[in-house]
């Protein structure tokens, strides 16, 4: 499997060999994006559009944007004030873009107004998948909320103060690159979710994220590679990078990992900034990995793993 990488600042740079290979690719291409969202929704839309258009021009059939692609607020109040419904301008504009460019989109973490918005002022963190006709085909609402206090590492976030936890996982989505299982950021730390998605047919797992600098440097790559190894899936993780405002900065390193656990695409950190990793998704590699090491066949029934609960 070939992996191709292109990092950019504000505009695309041509990657060596991409155009010459476009007509000879035998597998679908996924574009894993990295961006720096701010409270400026118009600027974020312009950046996301630029990334999607560039990826489509280079042959991507599905483009993955990170968590909080729409914006990252500087306070709880600003975050809530900027939230929209799925029928609002942001999702509508991306739906039009998908239809225009004939690409699928993974919008990795949208600030969606909750069902009791007028009285409760709480939101979902929603992963929205749009097909190449511009229709929403799946919405996953983040189940595991990031409530973490790490004073020694400068990390203090309480997502549950304004976010409703999602009620359930959603089935993997059939896309041009295979069956994609949906997660968001902190979900990455819960292998049970990844394994459940794999059992229901996922060939690709995706974890759009906005990892902090401290947790990213310590855990980002090892967690993504672990999820790929244990599920024998491709893992695609779009990411936020660099400073969003005075109070928050993200680690970056949007990654693509193959079913053996090898990193096949990396957009780099803050120095590289906005970028895209283009990766050919060869599903035969998923099948070969699972045939040669049939881990799932070796699993015991669920009762076996809970037997310690009764001792």
Whether residue 112 lies in the annotated active site:
no
Mean predicted lDDT score pLDDT of the chain: 91
Candidate list 33, 84, 112, 185, residue with the active-site label: 185
> Domains in the chain, start-ordered, CATH in brackets?
3-310 (3.60.110.10)
Candidate list 84, 112, 142, 233, residue with the active-site label: 142
Burial class for 217, CB neighbours closer than 10 Å (0-12, 13-18, 19+): middle
Average pLDDT over residues 108-117: 96
User: What whole-number distance in Å separates Cα of residue 64 and Cα of residue 56?
Assistant: 12
The band of 25, judged by pLDDT with boundaries at 50, 70 and 90, is: low
Whether residue 195 lies in the annotated active site:
no
Largest CA distance in the chain: 62
Write the pLDDT tens digit of every residue in 4-24: 444 334 333 333 233 334 445
Lowest mean pLDDT among 18-22, 212-216, 238-242, 275-279: 18-22
Average pLDDT over residues 154-164: 82
Whether residue 41 lies in the annotated active site:
no
Q: Are 49 and 290 in contact (CB under 8 A)?
A: no
The number of helices, as runs of H, and strands, as runs of E, in the chain is 11, 17
Q: Rounded to the nearest 5°, which phi and psi values hold at 263?
A: -75, 120
The band of 57, judged by pLDDT with boundaries at 50, 70 and 90, is: very high
């Amino acid at each position: 499997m070939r992996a191709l990488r292109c990092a950019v600042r504000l505009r695309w740079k041509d990657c060596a060999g991409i155009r010459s290979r476009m007509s000879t690719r035998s597998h679908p291409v996924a574009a894993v994006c990295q961006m720096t969202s701010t409270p400026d929704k118009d600027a974020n839309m312009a950046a996301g559009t630029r990334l999607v258009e560039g990826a489509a021009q280079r042959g991507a059939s599905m483009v993955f944007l990170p968590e909080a692609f729409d914006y990252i607020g500087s306070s709880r109040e600003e975050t809530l004030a900027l939230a929209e419904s799925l029928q609002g301008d942001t999702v509508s504009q991306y739906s039009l873009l998908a239809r225009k460019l004939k690409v699928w989109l993974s919008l990795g973490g949208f600030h969606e107004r909750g069902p009791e918005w007028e009285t409760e002022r709480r939101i979902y963190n929603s992963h929205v998948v749009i097909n190449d006709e511009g229709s929403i085909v799946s919405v996953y609402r983040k189940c595991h909320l990031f409530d973490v206090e790490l004073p020694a590492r400068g990390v203090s976030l309480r997502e549950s103060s304004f976010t409703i936890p999602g009620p359930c996982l959603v089935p993997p989505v059939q896309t041009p690159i295979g069956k994609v299982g949906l997660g968001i950021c902190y979900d990455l730390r819960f292998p049970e979710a990844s394994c459940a998605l794999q059992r229901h047919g996922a060939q690709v797992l995706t974890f759009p994220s906005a990892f902090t600098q401290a947790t990213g440097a310590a855990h980002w790559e090892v967690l993504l590679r672990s999820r790929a190894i244990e599920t024998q899936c491709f893992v695609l993780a779009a990411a936020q990078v660099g400073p969003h405002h005075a109070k928050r900065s993200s680690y970056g390193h949007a990654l693509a990992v193959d079913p053996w656990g090898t990193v096949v695409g990396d957009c780099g950190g803050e120095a590289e900034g906005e970028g895209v990793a283009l990766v050919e998704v060869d599903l035969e590699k998923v099948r070969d990995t699972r045939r040669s090491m049939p881990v799932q066949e070796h699993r015991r029934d669920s009762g076996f793993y809970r037997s310690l609960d009764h001792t």
